Structure 1
Amino acid sequence: MSTAQKLTNTYTALQTVNEGHQINQDDWMTLWCSTNWGALLQPAPLSISLLGAILILASSTADFSLIDDVPEGAPEYKWQYATRPESFKTCLEQMAGDGSKAFETAQAQMEIINNSTSDSVMPKLIKEIVGLIIDGSKEDIQSLFLSKINDLKDLSKKCLDAANTTDSAFANLVGLAQEMVLACTYVQGTTEQAIDRNKVHLAVLDQVKAEQAASIKQAKAQVAFAKKSYSKAESGFYTAVNDVPSGWTLVGMEVVGDLAKGLSSALNAAVSYGTMRSQGAQAGLNSYSNLTGQQGQTAVAPEPAPVAPTTSPNGVSSQPNAEALTDPGTVGVQSVLTLVMAMQSLLTGKDGKPDWDRIRKTSDSKDSQDGGLYIQAALESQKTELDPSAPFSQKLSPYIDDALVIIAAILKVAGSSASIEDNTLEPQVAPTEQLIMNLQGLSTSANLVLQQPGSAATGPATPAPADQAQAAEASGAAQLAVQSAEMKVTQTRANLEASRGMYEKYTDELTQQQQAITTTIGNITQTQLTDVTLAHMLPVLGTAVGSFTTLRAQFSQLVQFFDHVASLLNDVMDPSLTDWIHTLTSAEGEEKKVAGITLSKFMQNLIYTGMMTPLKVSMLANKVSGVYMSVSRQYIIPAQEQVGSMLLFPAGSTAEDKKALVVKLQKAQAALAESTKGTNNKISALVLNDQKDFNTTITARLNAIENALKAHIPAVTQPVPAHVKAITNAHAKDTARTRALQAGVNPMFTLQSAF
């Protein structure tokens, strides 16, 4: 079998595992793991149980004022959420009512999202748009494309409005709960605490406003980043038309693929910010931490959600963070890796020896254009794109410097008499191989930050396997071409394995927390109802704040996801759609080519890539909303309906009346404990079943990759290379430590210490 045929078979096999629906599933599974959907289920029954517990405890106490019963010297402040703060019990009734409204709102709005994102609605529409891009006639594109995009906008807005409505309902509930806890803290506390109450009040109750401001600022940065990435992809294609040596077809193909991948990464960056927003909301921005229940403590301003320092061997955190998600180095590392691998082909691409004809220009024909100077210029251009203040750019910049030193040495030898000896470039081989490993590690970190697989979906601008194989053979870089493809598959394997491992840890953590919740509710419901004080109720109420906050964080994440889809369609794609349609349907789009790929095909690929983001979001939102609705119908709404009747009053003022009330409350306590235990067990079983399905799906995907490629790329049967595995292992460890830090500032996870 000829080398060309072997390569054709290899690329054909690669395309069978990189089809659009497969990469979308890889994307979705990575994102599904990061959202940790179990956290959406856990706090809802807990918060209802806690509210029921506090109502039972309050029933056995006398009412008091949250205004009049504070120590002297406390400054006045405006109540923002409680309608009648002069009565603690009335505030509790308001919380029960607001809770009912919030959970009913969530049920209704999640149904809207679930219906809108079902297979027959949003995904179907996106597939129609993609089909139109790929197979539609010029007339169909001109007449139908914009109309279908507008339909997608309407659906996205519908989902965004539903998510915002739910988020607002729980934001108000969180605000009321926090306001009550702070007021109760000062009723119980000292004058010294009371003097500082205004600072605490502002720090906590302005949390939503501060978070919204930060989200708006970051959203603007993400839109600007996505716009720039679209523009860069388009301008990058024009640059490649003029600069890529036309005889170096393989490199041209890789450059075009990297441009599309860079755009996909930029769009994934904005989706990944949803994880950050959720973490920030769940952690309460640290504004609530250690501000209640302790005497003489000074209020502090809100801070970002804590993130554990990285243990990654390259020193770059793979946790989603604002700096990395708008860092040009994050999306540019793959392009630099491609250039360095092309440089490696100059060193060893001709039967293991330097490709002198490609390194230097030997005639006036563009087909023999100087490959060495092209790489040098392209690397220098990449360096100008970096942001010196951003984490990936800081790491990538010295790698580019190293590459520039190597290519300068290659060009120096090529222009001297030493080029008659093939071994004169041997000193540059080992540094280049090490640089490739370093860049592979950094690329792995970038993919983890962006929550995406290493492989890109086969799209309109993906050359046919035979074309790729012929280009690889003609350039004398057949083995290096396979190495490049192998690395992308390796990163996909590594990310899927990391997702599976992290999800297992999340599930273990969730199961442990469910057990802790059962124990906590059991402890609460064993509290004697004859001598209940505010000191007994305050920890319960504080934990309710944490559970409401955690629940709201999940809805905030959905807001971010659909906000990104809306921004993508309205702010990024809209301004250029008319021009793109003109390019897609004009003769000009068929004239400009890089490695046989026309401008029209590349523009099609950009729109195709753009459509993958709303498709991924719709898949995730459909799963999240469906799971929530199932749990809500079975456990949340029925439990919430019972809570409103848990604040009881004695029938009269006699001792017998009070004893009768205690008996009723004790029965209510026992029923609440039993109900919570049953709900937690059922949710734990649901989580475990989903983990089993998740593991099965990922294992099936990994097996499919191995079976399709093992005859052509034997390395897929081996463990993921150590330098890549070290990155994903560190990511799993860093993620667990980050979650622990964020849980530590959420009172939901600290209640047991009060009992």
Structure 2
Amino acid sequence: MTQWCSSNWGDLLQPAPLSIALLGSILIIASSTDDFSLDSKAPPGCPPFEWKYALRPDSFKTCLQQMVNDGFEAFGTADTSMESIKNNTSQMPGVITTLIDLVLHGTIQDIDDHFLNQVNALLGQSQRCLVQAQKSTDAFHHISGLAQEMVLACTYTAGNTEKALAQNKIQLEVLALQEASDEDMVKQSKANAELMKNSYTKAEVDFHQALDDVPSGWDLVGMQVVESLTGLVVSAGNAAISMATIRSQAATAGLNAFSSLTGTKDPKAPATPALAPVAPTTSPNGVSSQPNAAALNDPGTLAAQHVLDQATNIKMLLTGGAGGKPDWDKIRGAKSGAAYVQARLTSLKDELPTDDVPGPVSEKLLPLIDDALKIIQAILDTENSVAAAEDTSLDAQGPPTDQLIQSLQSLVHTKNLLVGQPPNVANGPAVPQTPAAQASTGAAKLAVENAKMKVDQTRSQLEASRASFEKASDRLVAQQKEMTETIGKLTTLKLTSTNLEHMLPVLTKAVGAFTNLRAQFSQLVQFFEHICNLLQDIMVPSIKSWTDTLKKAAQSAHSNSGVPAPRLAGISVSLFTRDLIYRGCQTPLKVVTLANKISTTYGEISQLYIMPAQGRVGSMMKFADDNTTASKDALIAQLTKDQAALSKETQDASAGISQKVQEEQQTYQAAIDTRLQTLDAAFAHLPALKEPVPPHIQEVSDAHVADTDKTKELQASVDPTVEEYVDDEA
């Protein structure tokens, strides 16, 4: 539910009908004109145009027919590839389930015998998906290059000396932007994969260290350690999935890069669009919850939950004693709870970037860590003074601690929305049980407050996700209407005396439509690249270390003749390590589920609307029987009829896709409504959980919906496929 909005398949398919309609319209218009050469000589002092994609640039109509053939090949390749991806991804959940079953229930021998074989099978399936997705991308890359070349050549032929001089700059600008975007995304993806890999290994190291560092008997703190460190892997995995969305945003943002030099510049569009445009946030904490590379690669994104846990520990020190008073037993001593919190906060601060430009989350998190360190230092100072004899001596630290927790809860909620992670992650073998029997009244109350916060975040996040999807659906319907108007305007073009200047805007839109499709297939490629990266870089290398740890734990327990292995909050090293692998399996499972949904839906839309229309477009290039006026008039009449039929067919296709989006929205809303009703029923006997979501949580969710809508509008502003087509003569 939390991932679905950022992978709306309607956005993936929307450009298809328009691109086919544009191509058909170009053919119809070209049929009404005399053929001419695009391979014109350059004016004196201007460089010649260099052809890379067109096979016969001396014939404009032949170039158009090549676009039809290449388009048919691209859509045909996509149709076949998506079918293959659907078949492979439908098998992958079963393999992942087998892996998870081995993790949860397998013996050490079972793991040694079968785990690696299952991982290799999963790698093979994901690699086949990657190859098929890459085929689709390559096909659309070729036709996008041909369409772009046609626009530049037409501009060169129809334009003046100034435009002729500009054409090389256009080519260089487009190629430079694409190269910069690709390099940046490769760099960001590597950084993201490295972040997840480090998170996985660090979680296990931190758990081993926590066995020694957490004060004995502090069970609630031990629970937080287990939940935070296992949740760390989920957050990092979701950040890797979100990077695929950034890839698509970057490609979309670059669509309009050359428009200023072809004379189709939208005055409202940014002069230099960002690689992945994100609207200024309206979030109260000043951190955007929209997927962006800076936040996804920021160590503070994953550290925020740990800092919140330590703030909660401070609250526990202040109220965890008898009657809600300070827990002096946990505060005092060289290895006390207060000393542990201070050391942990200092360690977390040292792990965050402290340069002049920290990440967006780290920038907000660092001052909060400083505030927490001030509070814990005040507690330690009081513990060493005569004031420690009075329970009221720490009352002054209560309000700032509550404010600190609220600020951190808001930041953590923002982080959860950013990476598409629910407040509660999937239960694995290391889920700690609440040690209610050992907890004091104050500690038990704090544990309930933490649980309520997670329920509030869950409810708010589900509602925000539903609202975000509603807006996405509304936006898609609105864009479908714009497309219908655009297609309708194409039918008003006069088929007599149509010249190159009138066709140039149509060609420009074709560039945008095909490039947009290429961007969406690039997103699918990125999905499957992440599957391979997650398996190769994280799961496979961890198998040996994981099984070694299990063996050592088993040998230790056997050699110590019943002496229990080290445990934290009731969790052994073996269970915690199994849990890390279990949660690591969830990430590729989510990617596979999304990819299967997208590929399945594409196949349905392709068979109904794309391939039939694409096949008919190929027959739209017509010629008059002879040079008589009657033959030419008959040709114009036939072309006008074909033009109207194409317009209706494309509008029907666009409406069909829009209808499917609305049906999906109803299913999606029903799923969220069911989940919310389940929450209400489960907590009906707890009045506190029926209260409204706290403002500091609700405000972040509301900002997420608003920011999502603004970001989508910003991305659309640099997309030439949604610019209004204007033909002055018509």
Pair 1:35 & 2:1 matched? no
Give the deviation of 1:524 after TM superposition: 0.6
Equivalent position of 2:471 in the other structure: 505
Give the deviation of 1:274 after TM superposition: 0.6
Alignment check: 8 A CA contact 2:41 2:48 kept: no
Provide the C-alpha distance between the structure 1 equivalents of 2:146 and 2:201, rounded to a whole number of angstroms: 45
Provide the C-alpha distance between the structure 2 equivalents of 1:65 and 1:117, rounded to a whole number of angstroms: 47
Q: 1:642 aligns with which of 613, 616, 624?
A: 616
Give the deviation of 1:382 after TM superposition: 0.5
Q: 1:269 aligns with which of 231, 239, 250?
A: 239
Q: 1:67 aligns with which of 26, 36, 39?
A: 39
Alignment check: 8 A CA contact 1:241 1:594 kept: yes
Q: 2:536 aligns with which of 561, 566, 570?
A: 570
Letter in 1 for 2:309: T
Q: 2:145 aligns with which of 147, 164, 175?
A: 175
Pair 1:311 & 2:282 matched? yes
Q: 2:717 aligns with which of 715, 734, 744?
A: 744
Equivalent position of 2:549 in the other structure: 583
Alignment check: 8 A CA contact 2:24 2:617 kept: yes
Alignment check: 8 A CA contact 1:207 1:287 kept: yes
Equivalent position of 2:157 in the other structure: 187
Pair 1:340 & 2:311 matched? yes
Equivalent position of 2:561 in the other structure: none
The verdict on how the C-alpha distance between 1:754 and 1:404 changes in structure 2, with shifts beyond 3 A counting, is: farther
Give the deviation of 1:565 after TM superposition: 1.2
Alignment check: 8 A CA contact 1:507 1:687 kept: yes
Equivalent position of 1:554 in the other structure: 520
Q: 1:533 aligns with which of 499, 504, 521?
A: 499
Letter in 2 for 1:153: L
User: Where in structure 2 are the equivalents of 1:69-148 lying within 5 Å?
Assistant: 71-118=43-90, 121-148=91-118
After TM superposition, the score normalised by the length of structure 2 is 0.94
User: Where in structure 2 are the equivalents of 1:295-694 lying within 5 Å?
Assistant: 303-350=274-321, 351-361=323-333, 369-388=335-354, 389-464=358-433, 467-471=434-438, 473-474=439-440, 476-586=442-552, 587=554, 591-694=565-668
Letter in 2 for 1:733: A
**1:204-224 deviations in whole A, cap 9, x for unaligned?**
144443333222212211221
Give the deviation of 1:198 after TM superposition: 0.9
Alignment check: 8 A CA contact 1:289 1:745 kept: no
Give the deviation of 1:576 after TM superposition: 2.5
| Aligned-residue identity in percent | 51
Give the deviation of 1:555 after TM superposition: 1.5
**1:73-126 deviations in whole A, cap 9, x for unaligned?**
4312532322222222222111111110111111111111111122xx111111
After TM superposition, the score normalised by the length of structure 1 is 0.91
Provide the C-alpha distance between the structure 2 equivalents of 1:615 and 1:61, rounded to a whole number of angstroms: 54
Letter in 1 for 2:698: K
Alignment check: 8 A CA contact 1:346 1:354 kept: yes
Pair 1:199 & 2:199 matched? no
Provide the C-alpha distance between the structure 2 equivalents of 1:209 and 1:468, rounded to a whole number of angstroms: 56
Letter in 1 for 2:313: A
The verdict on how the C-alpha distance between 1:179 and 1:475 changes in structure 2, with shifts beyond 3 A counting, is: farther
Provide the C-alpha distance between the structure 2 equivalents of 1:661 and 1:220, rounded to a whole number of angstroms: 56
More off after superposition, 738-747 vs 393-402: 738-747
Q: How many residues align?
A: 713
Provide the C-alpha distance between the structure 2 equivalents of 1:218 and 1:78, rounded to a whole number of angstroms: 33
The verdict on how the C-alpha distance between 1:77 and 1:189 changes in structure 2, with shifts beyond 3 A counting, is: closer
Provide the C-alpha distance between the structure 2 equivalents of 1:170 and 1:487, rounded to a whole number of angstroms: 47
Provide the C-alpha distance between the structure 1 equivalents of 2:726 and 2:405, rounded to a whole number of angstroms: 51
Provide the C-alpha distance between the structure 2 equivalents of 1:576 and 1:622, rounded to a whole number of angstroms: 27
Provide the C-alpha distance between the structure 1 equivalents of 2:187 and 2:708, rounded to a whole number of angstroms: 25
The verdict on how the C-alpha distance between 1:342 and 1:754 changes in structure 2, with shifts beyond 3 A counting, is: farther
Alignment check: 8 A CA contact 1:171 1:208 kept: no
Alignment check: 8 A CA contact 1:285 1:305 kept: no
Q: What are the ranges of 5 or more consecutive residues in structure 1 without an aligned counterpart?
A: 1-28
Alignment check: 8 A CA contact 1:258 1:335 kept: yes
Q: Secondary structure at the match of 2:532?
A: helix
Alignment check: 8 A CA contact 1:39 1:551 kept: no
The verdict on how the C-alpha distance between 1:687 and 1:699 changes in structure 2, with shifts beyond 3 A counting, is: same
Alignment check: 8 A CA contact 2:353 2:362 kept: yes
Alignment check: 8 A CA contact 2:226 2:432 kept: no
The verdict on how the C-alpha distance between 1:736 and 1:71 changes in structure 2, with shifts beyond 3 A counting, is: farther
Provide the C-alpha distance between the structure 2 equivalents of 1:93 and 1:434, rounded to a whole number of angstroms: 67
The verdict on how the C-alpha distance between 1:477 and 1:375 changes in structure 2, with shifts beyond 3 A counting, is: same
Equivalent position of 1:732 in the other structure: 705
Alignment check: 8 A CA contact 1:175 1:205 kept: no
**1:153-205 deviations in whole A, cap 9, x for unaligned?**
11111111111111121122222211211221222222112112111111114
The verdict on how the C-alpha distance between 1:173 and 1:210 changes in structure 2, with shifts beyond 3 A counting, is: farther
Pair 1:58 & 2:58 matched? no
The verdict on how the C-alpha distance between 1:650 and 1:503 changes in structure 2, with shifts beyond 3 A counting, is: same
Equivalent position of 1:722 in the other structure: 695
Alignment check: 8 A CA contact 1:281 1:550 kept: yes
The verdict on how the C-alpha distance between 1:47 and 1:589 changes in structure 2, with shifts beyond 3 A counting, is: farther
Provide the C-alpha distance between the structure 2 equivalents of 1:418 and 1:134, rounded to a whole number of angstroms: 51
Give the deviation of 1:644 after TM superposition: 0.8
Alignment check: 8 A CA contact 1:308 1:737 kept: yes
The verdict on how the C-alpha distance between 1:530 and 1:442 changes in structure 2, with shifts beyond 3 A counting, is: same
**1:263-289 deviations in whole A, cap 9, x for unaligned?**
211111111001110111122265234
